[in-house]
Amino acid sequence: MSFVVGLIIGITIGFALIIGFVRSENGRSKRRSALATTIAALARMTREDSKKLLAPEYYPSWVLAWLNSHLTKIWPNVDEAASELIKANVEPILEQYRPIILSSLTFSKLTLGTVAPQFTGVSVIEDESDGITLELEMNWDGNPSIILDVKTRLGVGLPVQVKDVAFTGVFRLIFKPLVNEFPCFGAVSFSLRKKTKMDFTLKVIGGDISAIPGVADALESTIHDAVEDSITWPVRKVIPILPGDYSDLELKPMGILEVKLVQAHGLTNKDLIGKSDPFAKLYIRPLRSRMKTSKVIDNDLNPVWNEHFEFIVEDISTQHLTVKIYDDDGIQSSELIGCAQVKLSELVPGKVKDVWLKLVKDLEIHRDNKDRGKVHLELLYYPHGVGNGFINPFSSNYSMTSLEKVLKDGENENDELVDNKRKMVITRGVLSVTVISAEDLPPADLMGKADPFVVLTMKKNGTRNKTRVVNNNLNPIWNQTFDFVVEDGLHDMIILEIWDHDTFGKDFMGRCILTLTRVILEGEYKDSFEVEGAKSGKLSLNLKWLAQPRHQEHQHVHLPADTNQTRGYAMVESQSAIARGNHDSQPKQVEEVAADYDRLPESYIRKEDEEYGSVNSAGASSPMSVGVPVIDISLLNSSLSELDKLKSAVSSWGCFQAINHGIEGSFLEKIREISKLFFRLSMEEKKKYLRAENDVEGYGNDMVLTENQILDWNDRLYLNVLPRHQRRLQFWPQNPTHFREVLDEYVSKIELINDFLLKALARSLNLHENCFLDQYGTTATMDARFSYYPPCPCPERVFGLKPHADFSALTFLLQDKEVEGLQVLKDGEWVGVPIVRDALTINIGDQLEVMSNGVFKSPMHRVMINSRDARMTVAMFCMPQTEKDIGPVDGLVSDERPRLYKNVTVNVRTFFTYLQKGTRGIDAFKI
């Protein structure tokens, strides 16, 4: 039915002919002379004449009559000349809008019929620039004969007739540039001024169109889309009249619209079973290549997408963004739930606009009042070019963000380059959320009360935190603050769910979803938010953003390079090196060495003879099947074979990867998070927890215990966490605010696994299950070590951690989520310990080797550094009471297996002394 498009183009071309088609090369002489008269009449007008003749306020009715009579006269010629032209021009247009279900769409016949369109109005718009704009209102109740040849994907071909065409529209013709040479203008641009009313019917010749479901609808919307998009303003056709370059008249990208599709709320259910599976289609122009489709969210009437799209904007004053929400029906065609539109003219360039749009059934006809739900978007329009006074909205008060820098740097570059650079910007920082209070929550139990608490989740990495439960209160006050490390603030969001705590579980009360845009823009704000999904209630929050922007492309820059904003954490802290002033007398932290790197200090250069073994060719990425064993902890009470596997793992490797250990991945994430937040503090802030010169506990790098000691390339926070009553809280960070709370919870969880594992290890040797625990004394000891390994420009010349064995009984290591580096010595080869998701890497330490009389091995291990990425780990060293005498358990000493070790007491300091000397503590315990 592109006939209408063709028609419009035809008419317009016809019009252009009337006005200035001086180059009607193929026309017959008769038609030419008819045209020539008309052209001459109009074209002879000077610029002043045309303004006089077509005065905007008043134009004589004869103008219309004159136009109409001329059009009627030349109509047969237009028809004849235009038909082929229409076919040739319109078929490729149709192709662009052709729906997927059709495999081809062409004209098999096209004539415009005998009835010419009638002009019903004319107006002239003064153009400050060098041109005249003529607007012609036109009506056409035509009798064209148009037959489309439609082929469906199923291979069915059918001729479809387009009938009963009724069209009302306003043509806009722009004569520009005005010149003094005949015919007084260089080119004509034409388009339809705005959406046009157009009716037609479709009929399959010799059949019923409804027999093939979907085809009629698809055709109809294709025609409407094609008309709307291919010829409706700002889209235009430019016909050059005089030779010249008119590319400035063509439609050109003016800027980019960034759209964040946040969520939708209260969508109508379209499914009989379950709920709709919504997805969104977004577009400015309905071209297949320019439409964006979101993910499908299964079975949810309140979907959260958090998706980001970009669109080219060609004319902010007239274009719209359209959003259509559909229910995905699998193989069947999707069903529309509702649609909405925003005028781009409502956007202020460079300012983020947050909108909730009500969904309607049809954007044209507003008679339906049914509630279909609403959709939440964030919109930001960036004009191209940076010299236009536009201010980057993501700038912060205290520093120039990467985004701003990109825009500035890009001033002399082309738009595409700037756009690409802009895309690379990641807004990184720390988000602090204070959950202040809620008011007027709906009752959740029969007593008219609730016991609310709030769960905070970062959408991207799933990090979670929760507030305490406030009992029996519909207006709870929490006043709790949570910090989150955010890698990509512009694309992340925080979800706050309110739950009612219940002895038998919990009930969902409602939620608030916030993107980080506002907090990134404002730095800090306090506001209260309506609780979605609840009858009533508001949640009061304070949000704060501490930016640490980074430029993604530069991530691979190596340490000595000039930039100081891209080297992982070391970079971020480099500005705070000022803090070093007071501490100059003390050795620098590795982080400071890395930040000020010029050449590798002597004290870090490792000695080759410390290597103990050769490197396994498989290196750090050795496949798990031949590498460190993986043990399913949850099976150790029920599966003898798993217990056996454990025994052989600790007897040969001395270490294993524990999965299903009972600590949730999201909690492990929290541990990584507090570690990251701590190491990201300024040097000054971290040094508040600095260890004393001859003490292990606190923040710092290696204690210097021996002469010529080679230093490890890592900084750490070392804390004695058990027994509880001996904790030295002055070393426990108060920043991030939840550090102590989270670490304490981790300690309790590790305590449980430690007990469980010691019992399992005893059972695996057919010993009494408490035989190891019995040596623990009145209270077990646990130390935590948060390690931070900055990248090093010469990674092969340093050790992250020198080869060593742990002095603990058992070590629970939470590895970095992405960066490997740990290697374990197995049969004379260094084997990489890979990262296994949500696993804990568990090591036997010297004390358990002693207690097991050498059956279990305390393995040598070391940490290697790389030049690109920082690495963070958290090790928990678990062992008996300090200064408690330990020795091989009775059941493991026999005539065949004599006692290998003396009774000993182990402490941290002796361990480190051995370690720094490059000897193994355990050698001193041997008989």
Ligand X SMILES: O=C(O)CCC(=O)C(=O)O
The yes or no reply on residue 290 touching ligand X (CB under 6 A) is no
The dihedral built from the CA positions of residue 477, 478, 479 and 483, taken in this order, carries a sign that is negative
> Residue 863's binding partner, choosing from ligand X, Fe ion, none, with beta-carbon cut-off 5 to 8 A by kind?
ligand X
Distance CA 925, CA 9 (A): 95
Tell me if 813 contacts ligand X by CB under 6 A: yes
**Residue closest to ligand X when measured from CB atoms:** 873
**Residue 863 is a binding residue for ligand X (CB under 6 A):** yes
The interface partner of residue 239, options being ligand X, Fe ion, none and the CB cut-off 5 to 8 Å by kind, is: none
Least distance from C-beta 613 to ligand X, angstroms? 16
Closest to Fe ion by CB, 806 vs 869, is: 806
User: Quick one: which H or E segment has residue 105?
Assistant: strand 102-111
Asked if 550 interacts with ligand X (CB under 6 A), we say no
User: Which one-letter amino acid corresponds to residue 905?
Assistant: T
Q: Which is nearer to Fe ion, 654 or 700 (CB)?
A: 654
Binding partner of residue 189 among Fe ion, ligand X, none, CB cut-off 5 to 8 Å per kind: none
873 binds, among ligand X, Fe ion, none (CB under 5 to 8 A by kind): ligand X
In sequence order, what are the residues at sequence separation of 6 or more whose Cβ sits closer than 8 angstroms to the Cβ of residue 771? 762, 889, 890, 891
Nearest distance from C-beta of residue 486 to ligand X, angstroms: 25
- Report residue 738 as tokens: 């939840």
| Whole-angstrom distance, CA of residue 746 vs CA of residue 675 | 13
Among 806, 846, 849, 869, binds ligand X (CB under 6 A): 806
User: Going along 219-319, which residue ranges are E strands?
Assistant: 237-240, 255-265, 278-283, 292-293, 304-313
405 makes contact, choosing from ligand X, Fe ion, none, with CB < 5 to 8 Å by partner type, with none
User: What's the min distance (Å) between Cβ of 714 and ligand X?
Assistant: 8
Q: Mutual orientation of helices 3-20 and 29-43 as an angle, nearest 10°?
A: 70
* Cβ distance to ligand X smaller for residue 465 or 873: 873
35 vs 876, beta carbon nearer Fe ion: 876
CB of 819 to Fe ion, least distance (A): 17
């060593």: which residue's tokens?
804
The nearest distance, CB 805 to ligand X, in angstroms, is 9
822 binds, among Fe ion, ligand X, none (CB under 5 to 8 A by kind): ligand X
The residue among 75 and 789 lying less far from ligand X, judged by its C-beta, is: 789
User: Does 873 sit near ligand X (CB under 6 A)?
Assistant: yes
DSSP of 321-346: EEEEEEE--TTSPPEEEEEEEEEGGG
CA–CA gap between residue 314 and residue 726 (Å, rounded): 68
Binding mask 782-821 for Fe ion (x = CB under 5 A): ------------------------x---------------
Return the ∠ at Cα 832 (arms to 831 and 838), rounded to 5°: 135
Q: Is 229 in the site for ligand X (CB under 6 A)?
A: no
Instruction: Say how far apart CA 204 and CA 148 lie, in whole Å.
Output: 9
User: Which residue number, 712 or 869, has a Cβ lying nearer to Fe ion?
Assistant: 712
- Please tell me the distance from the alpha carbon of residue 406 to that of residue 389, in angstroms, as a whole number: 15
Closest approach, Cβ 805 to Fe ion, in A, equals 7
Least Cβ distance, residue 861 to ligand X (angstroms): 5
Q: Kindly state the smallest distance separating residue 836's Cβ from Fe ion, in Å.
A: 18
Count of CB atoms situated within 10 Å of the CB of 519:
23
Q: Which is nearer to ligand X, 230 or 787 (CB)?
A: 787
Report the residue number, 549 or 832, with the smaller CB distance to ligand X. Answer: 832
What are the Cα distances from residue 818, in Å, to 550, 637, 672, 802, 833? Answer: 18, 31, 11, 21, 12
Find where tokens 């047969």 sit.
Answer: 76
Tokens of 550: 């980074």
Least Cβ distance, residue 813 to ligand X (angstroms): 6
Q: Is 846 in the site for Fe ion (CB under 5 A)?
A: no
CA dihedral 690, 692, 697, 698 (to 10 degrees): 0
16 or 842, CB closer to ligand X? 842
CB of 822 to ligand X, least distance (A): 4
DSSP state at residue 409 = H
Distance from C-alpha of 432 to C-alpha of 737, rounded to nearest angstrom: 10
Contact assessment for residue 571 and residue 565, using Cβ atoms and an 8 Å cutoff: yes
| 857 is a contact residue toward ligand X (CB under 6 A) | no
Nearer to ligand X, 200 or 807 (CB): 807
State the minimum distance, in angstroms, from the CB of residue 816 to ligand X: 8
Interacting partner of 785 out of ligand X, Fe ion, none (Cβ under 5 to 8 A depending on kind): ligand X
Interaction of residue 875 with ligand X, rule CB under 6 A: yes
What is the pattern of x (binds ligand X, CB under 6 A) and - over residues 652-671? --------------------
- Picked from ligand X, Fe ion, none, the partner binding residue 813 (CB below 5 to 8 A depending on kind) is ligand X
In angstroms, the CA 788 to CA 573 distance is: 13
Starting at the edge strand found earlier in the chain, the sheet holding 304-313 runs 304-313, 255-265, 374-383, 353-358
Output DSSP code: residue 117.
P
Alpha-helix runs per DSSP H in 599-706: 640-652, 665-679, 683-686
Task: Tell me how far, at minimum, the Cβ of 669 lies from ligand X, in Å.
Answer: 18
> Shortest gap between Cβ of 806 and ligand X (angstroms)?
5
Among 861, 915, 916, 922, binds ligand X (CB under 6 A): 861
If one asks whether residue 785 binds ligand X (CB under 6 A), the answer comes out as yes
Interface residue with ligand X among 787, 823, 852, 853 (CB under 6 A) is 787
202 makes contact with ligand X (CB under 6 A): no
Query: Which amino acid is located at 915 in the chain?
Result: L
Determine, following the binding rule CB under 5 A, whether residue 712 of this chain makes contact with Fe ion.
no
Q: Which is nearer to ligand X, 165 or 813 (CB)?
A: 813
Closest approach, Cβ 543 to ligand X, in A, equals 34
CB of 653 to Fe ion, least distance (A): 14
Tokens for 676, please give them: 């990251």
Closest CB 749 distance from Fe ion, rounded Å: 20
Nearest residue (CB) to Fe ion, 185 versus 912: 912
- Residue 419 within binding range of Fe ion, rule CB under 5 A: no
Report how far apart, in Å, the C-alpha atoms of 687 and of each of 198, 581, 693, 699 are.
74, 12, 13, 7
Q: How far is the CB of 808 from ligand X (least distance, A)?
A: 8
Q: Does 296 bind ligand X (CB under 6 A)?
A: no
Q: In what order do the strands lie in the sheet with 320-327?
A: 292-293, 278-283, 320-327, 335-343
What is the C-alpha R_g of the chain? 37
Q: How far apart are the first and last CA of the chain?
A: 96
What tokens were used for 25?
A: 């090369």
- 3-class secondary structure, 40: helix
Minimum CB distance to Fe ion smaller for 277 or for 806: 806
> Residue with the closest Cβ to Fe ion?
806
> Which lies closer to ligand X via its Cβ, residue 382 or residue 786?
786
Interatomic CA distance for residues 408 and 386, integer angstroms: 7
Residue 116 burial (10 A CB sphere; 0-12, 13-18, 19+) = buried
Q: Exactly one of 822, 844, 900, 922 binds ligand X (CB under 6 A); which one?
A: 822
* Total residues found in the chain within this entry: 927
Number of residues in contact with ligand X under rule CB under 6 A: 11
Tokens of 501: 């705590």
* Strand-by-strand arrangement of the 452-458 sheet: 464-466, 452-458, 493-502, 505-515
Instruction: Note whether 849 binds Fe ion by CB under 5 A.
Output: no
Report which secondary-structure segment, H or E, holds 61. Answer: helix 61-97
Interface with Fe ion (CB under 5 A): 806
Interface with ligand X (CB under 6 A): 785, 787, 801, 806, 813, 815, 822, 861, 863, 873, 875
